[in-house]
Structures are given as C-alpha cells and as structure tokens.
Structure 1
Amino acid sequence: MIKETTVRNDVINKIINIIDIEKGLSKNSKNAYASDIILMNDWFRKQNINFLNAKEIDFKNLFSFFKSQNLKQNSINRKLSSMRQFYQTLQEEEYIQKNPLNNINSLKKEKKLPKALSEDLITLVLETARENFTKLKTESLEKINKSLRTLVVLEILYSTGMRISELLSLPLSDFVNLKDKLQIKGKGDVYRMVAFNKKSFYYIGLWLKHRSLSKAKANNKYMFPEKNGIGHVSRQTIYKDILNLSKTIGLENKDISPHKIRHSFATHLLNRGADLRSLQKLLGHADISTTEIYTYVEPERLRGLVRDAHPLDKINFKNEESY
C-alpha cells in the first residue's frame, strides 16, 4: 500500500512543476517556492492536517505561528503568495473545490525609511575621490582611469539621483554632446529627464578625454565600458570601488553604496525645499506614494524646520520685553 505521505509529496511536486512551467520560474524562485510549500506541509503534518483538507482557520493558525517566530512581514507575504498560487493550481487541477486562502489578506508592507548620508559625509567622499584622482596623475593610465571612473560615477549619482543600473547602461553617445540635462529610460521603460551640476559636468568631460586614450574601450558603446569586454562595467565593480574609497577615510561601516547615494540625493533636495512632485520626476517613481517615504521626519528635524523656516522667526520684536 502506498503511504499517504508519498502521495502528498507526489501531489506537491506535480503542482510545483505545473506552476514552474506556466510561470517560467528561475531556479532560485522555484527553490524558494518549493521551500514555502514544504514548510507549510511539514507544519500541517505536525498538526495532523492533510494539506488537501486544510481550512481557512488552519492557515490563520499557520500565519500566527509565522508571526510568533518573528518572521518579517515581507517574508510572510511571500509565503502567502506562494501558498495562494499553489492552492489555486490545486483547484484548477481538481484536487480541491475551493481555495482556502481566498479570504486571507496580505500584511501591510513595512515602509522602510531610506537611510541617507549626511551632506557633510557626501562632501567628504566626493572631495576624497577628487584628491585621489589628482594624486594619481603620474601613475599608470589604468590606475588613473579607475580612480577617475569612481569619481565620475559618484558625481553623477549625487548630481542626478540616478539608479546605478540606469547610469551604467547609458551609451557613450548620450554624453558626447551633453548640455546640462539628459533623457534616460528608467524602470518600466519610463523616460525622464535628469540634470547635471557643474562639478559632474566637468568631470564627465574629463572622463571622455581619458576614455578616448584607451584603444580597448574605443569601440565599446557604453559610457563606462567593461575592462576587457563589449559590455559595461558591473554594479558589483562600482560598489567595490566605492567601498575601497570609503575605507581610505575610515567610513567602511557607513555602507556608502550607489543606492544610499540616491537616497541621500532625494533627502537632501527635500530638506532644502524641493517639492514632492518634482522629486518624484527626478527619481523616476511611477507612484507618488513611493516618493512620500522621504517626507518622514524626526522630531529634531521638525524643530529645526520651525526654527529655520517659520516666518515669525524672521521678525524682530523690538518691544517684546514691555508685554
């Protein structure tokens, strides 16, 4: 007699394979998906529940268990999504009549406050990058180019708020006759304009001159070409270069990543009076709610805002002591 456990496992494998074929899951996605379903099945088995007979209340108990294990909301939501798809396919394959997860809602996504670097820290990083480039003028062309590339990338990221993936995918032709603005294609194939400040514009010109000296890069179409290939330099390489720069000034614990520079760009603009709609356009956010996360302020900043921006702060009451 075939064991019930074997039958259950066969059903699970069959359904996961169907979903894999229909959705074209990557290997990692399929493994994560299978892990969620196996975890669910193991928990039900310990409760003497056949997953094919599980009811809505059983899933509520399961998700209560997940919460008790201090799983993050995003992790719980992913498991819920996996299970909902799993049971939908079970229903379509006529193993069950109704999806028991239809009335179970996802948890509200955690809104994580972007961590921004201070203006002073950003200034220190940029100044160090400029000094490093100046010091290397007598070094080999390769060392000079690497140092200059790091500087130019930093200048552009902080000047425009671009995502590093957007920047690295830009072709050389976009920069040859660059003025002060550039149209780029962001997430969802949405185009937007980004603006360059004077510093970044200057170093872009310098990079173009140095880049032209390298025969290996002459036929590469990207602004920041791979060292020995036809593609562009990788995000990992840029991150490593920025990390090495940070270490030279004792900032290895600050996580000065391209993504954090983007957050800093947005936060600093907002702090200096930029309106939310303009910031949304500069960042390329499809939804204003994504940009609104930057409006979170701590009490200290609120006090500073009243002190520095309130109109009454500018009024001089000459006779205030007489009241």
Structure 2
Amino acid sequence: MKVEGRLLIECFLEKMLAESGSSKNTIQAYQRDLLDLRSHLTKMDLGFEETKSEDLQSYLAFLSSQGLAVSTRSRRLSVIRQFYRFLREEHYIEDDPSLYLAFPKKSRRLPKTLSERYVEELLSFDETEVRPEALRLKALLEVLYATGMRVTEIVTLPLKTIESALLSERKVIYVKGKGGKERICLLNDSAVSSLKSYLGVRSIFEGREKSPWLFPSNATAGHLTRQRFWQLLKERANKKGLDAHSLSPHVLRHAFASHLLAHGADLRSIQKLLG
C-alpha cells in the first residue's frame, strides 16, 4: 500500500530523533530538505516509493542549477541517502535508488597569482632607496621572482652558493629542495645586479662572527626567517600602494611559473625549475 510522502518523512524523523539523538535544529533541517525533495518529485508525478536513481540525479542537477554550494548539495544528498536507507530497511521500497549517487566534488581553487604589472611595480625601487634594508629586500625579491625558489630555500641560501654563481658564466644556483633533491636555478640580469649591490652592504646584517648565510640576521637560526620575509613583503606592497592581502612569498613563486608559462615556456621545464 502506498504511503503518503509526508507521513514517510515523519516516520523517518521520529526514528532519527529516537536513535541518533539528533538535535532539534538538525531534525528541522532534515525535514526541510526532504519536503523540498518531495515537492520536486510531486511535480514529476512521483512518490518516494516510485523514485528511480535518475530521478534523484535530476533533483541534484536542479539544485546545482539553482546555485547551491557543493557543501549544501552534499548535505542534502546525505539526508536523501539516510532517508532511502530507512525506507528500504522498513520495507517501504525494495531497492534503494540513492545507493550509487555520487557526492558532488568540490572544485579546486585556482592558485592565487599576480599580474606582471603588479610584480613590476613591486620590484620597482627608485634611486633614493639605497639603505641596506632596501638593497637586501630588492635582492630577496629579484632572486625569488627570477628563480621561483621556495621561501625556505631563499632565506637559507649559503653565501658561497651565490658567490660561486656570480663568478660563473651561466649565473647558476644549485639548490637543495624537498627531499634533498638538487635542482638548477638561473639568475637573470636583474637578480645578479641586485645581489651585487646587496653584497656591498651585507656585512651590516652580520653579528660579531662571520655568517655562512647569504641573508644573515640576529635570529636564533642565524639567517632571515620566513616570517620576517613575509612581513617585509607585506610592508613593501603597502608602501607601493598594492594589494598586500593577496601577496605572499608563495604567491610570488607562483607568479614566476605562471608568467613563464604565459610567455611560452614548456610546462615540464617550469616544473623542474620549481622543484
């Protein structure tokens, strides 16, 4: 005997309330979701007992077309599955039409990136910016954007690595990244120029003892920290009137890759450069 849809919903909610200990708000949300499904099926002249998998898929597609978030659609599908499992266990239906319905997948957010104009402005230092702190920051930014290095890799660069690179014809840095894997990073002319200017004032950042790091500091580690670099980057963006909220060393690293790709670089080659 066919049972009215609203009564089936009430029976299900009573069981949920008794067995699962669901809160009043949860039960009310379940009720709203199932009444919405019932309304949709009624327009198709269907009851819960006659519903097939494709009917439920049609309903989920309808929810998507209404702009409901993935999380909302996933929650509704979860309720639908519980409801139809209940109907089957209580012998209202023979087969569960919701059994093989797939949960909607969350779309992957595209990584944040920066326009070339943004980066150009960020790296634009005028002739008056000659204090040691400014020369150090320019070197940090130019090397990061030229090589796509990770922030940890750049703040822990040994001084001798850069000295060797500046003496070589190709201006190559050998960097050990994740897993101890070594890769080649190339310095462009802007990075080389900024490094040479910075090396002229680098000793100011050293303590009493000589430091092995390219970017020494009085931090416990003996070199500039990741956190301090992040702070300097934000300060730079604010000083230039740029959006600092979207900026981080990682985003600048991603800009290096996306700008190379936009200018025709091979994706596999970029992946190797990034390590």
TM-score range, shorter chain: 0.5 to 0.7
Residue 254 of structure 1: how far off its partner (Å):
4.8
Counterpart in 2 of 1:255? 246
1:283 aligns with 2:274: yes
Which residue among 157, 182, 207 is the counterpart of 2:198? 207
Alignment of 1:13-32 (within 5 A): none
Matches within 5 A, 1:305-316: none
The equivalent position to 2:236 in structure 1, one of 226, 245, 253, is 245
Matches within 5 A, 1:117-136: 117-127=114-124, 130-131=125-126, 134-136=127-129
TM-score, reference length from structure 1: 0.50
2:156 paired residue among 154, 162, 169: 169
Q: Which residue of 2 aligns with 1:312?
A: none
Residue of structure 2 in register with 1:112 after alignment: 109
- Map Cα deviations across residues 104-132 of structure 1 (whole Å, 9 max, x no partner): x99967533122111111111111xx21x
Q: What residue identity is the alignment partner of 1:259?
A: H
2-structure distance, mates of 1:219, 1:155 = 24
Aligned residues: 183
Counterpart residue identity of residue 190, structure 2:
K
1:239-266 deviations in Å (ceiling 9; x for gaps): 1111111112221345221111111110
Among residues 231, 241, 252, which one is paired with 2:222 in the alignment?
231
**C-alpha contact 2:219 2:225 (8 A) present in aligned 1:** no
* Secondary structure class of the residue paired with 2:201: helix
How much is the aligned-residue C-alpha RMSD, in angstroms? Answer: 3.0
Could you tell me whether the CA contact under 8 Å between 1:224 and 1:232 is conserved in 2? yes
Identify if the C-alpha distance between structure 1 residues 68 and 190 changes in structure 2 by more than 3 Å, giving closer, same or farther.
same
Query: 1:217-251: CA deviations, max 9, x gaps?
Result: 75121111123555211111111111111112221
User: Structure 1 counterpart of 2:20, which letter?
Assistant: Q
Match of 2:65 in 1: none
Residue 151 (structure 1) aligned with residue 151 (structure 2)? no
Kept in 1, the 8 Å contact 2:112–2:246? The answer is no
Percent identity, please.
33
Matched residue SS, 1:220: coil
- Which segment is superposed worse, 114-123 or 217-226? 217-226
Q: In structure 1, what residue type is equivalent to 2:148?
A: G
- Partners of 1:241 and 1:256 lie apart in 2 by 11
Larger Rg: 2
Alpha-carbon distance in structure 2 between the residues aligned to 1:116 and 1:269: 12
Task: Give 1:189 deviation, angstroms.
Answer: 1.5
The one-letter amino acid paired with 1:251 is L
Give how far 1:46 is off.
7.6
How does 1:178-217 map onto structure 2 within 5 Å? 178=165, 179=168, 180-213=171-204, 216=207
- Deviations 1:80-123 (CA, angstroms, capped at 9, x unpaired): xxxxxxxxxxxxxxxxxxxxxxxxx9996753312211111111
Contact 1:116 1:264 in 2 (8 A): yes
CA shift for structure 1 position 44: 11
Q: Structure 1 pair 136/125, CA: closer, same or farther in 2 (3 Å)?
A: closer
Report deviation, 1:193.
0.4
Provide the C-alpha distance between the structure 1 equivalents of 2:183 and 2:17, rounded to a whole number of angstroms. Answer: 50
